[in-house]
């Protein structure tokens, strides 16, 4: 199983709603990531969990709240979002290979296309 599965694939939410994005992998990878990708732009790193602990927060607003309940699951909780938060949210995972963590390829999910209205 070399897949990263994200649900839902599409989400429309109002600015007062609370919703959650889910990401799951069963490859035994111990680092999991959230990236945000605006239309026609490259992905930008938001959060990194390493061994279920938050290791990187790229100054993301608190209306985005990540959670890593176990080594296979990563959530992103959304609350009081703004229309400019509409984007493709990508989850990824990596293992630590012979090349070290920086040299290993990342496995990405298909993303959740979020629209905030």
Partner 1 sequence: AQKVTQAQTEISVVEKEDVTLDCVYETRDTTYYLFWYKQPPSGELVFLIRRNSFDEQNEISGRYSWNFQKSTSSFNFTITASQVVDSAVYFCALSESIQGAQKLVFGQGTRLTINP
Least distance between partner 1 and beta carbon 16 (Å) = 27
Distance of closest approach, residue 49 Cβ to partner 1, in angstroms? 8
**CB of 46 vs partner 1, minimal distance in Å:** 11
Residue with tokens 């599409």: 10
How many Å apart are CA 56 and CA 42, to the nearest integer?
A: 19
Q: Is 66 a binder of partner 1 (CB under 8 A)?
A: no
The residue from 34, 74, 76, 94 that contacts partner 1 (CB under 8 A) is 94
φ/ψ of residue 101, rounded to 5:
-65, -30
**40 exposure class (CB count in 10 Å sphere: 0-12, 13-18, 19+):** exposed
Which distant-in-sequence residues (6+ apart) come within 8 Å of 37 by Cβ? 43, 44, 87, 88, 89, 90, 111
- Contact call for residue 43 and partner 1 (CB under 8 A): yes
Span near partner 1 by CB under 8 A; candidates 17-25, 66-74, 78-86, 97-105: 97-105
107 binds partner 1 (CB under 8 A): yes
CB of 80 to partner 1, least distance (A): 25
Closest CA relative to residue 4, chosen from 102, 101, 74, 76: 74
**What are the residues binding partner 1 (CB under 8 A)?**
4, 31, 33, 40-45, 48-51, 55-56, 88, 90, 92, 94, 99-111, 113
């Amino acid at each position: 199983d070399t897949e990263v599965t994200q649900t839902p694939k599409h989400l429309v939410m109002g600015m007062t709603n609370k919703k959650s994005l889910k990401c799951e992998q069963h490859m035994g990878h111990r680092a999991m990531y959230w990236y945000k990708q605006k239309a026609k732009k490259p992905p930008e790193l938001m959060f990194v969990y390493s061994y279920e602990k938050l290791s990187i927060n790229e100054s993301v607003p608190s209306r985005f709240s990540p959670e890593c309940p176990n080594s296979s699951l990563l959530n992103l909780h959304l609350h009081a979002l703004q229309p400019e938060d509409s984007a493709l949210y990508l989850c990824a995972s990596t293992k630590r290979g012979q090349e070290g963590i920086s040299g290993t390829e990342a496995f990405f999910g298909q993303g959740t296309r979020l629209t905030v209205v």
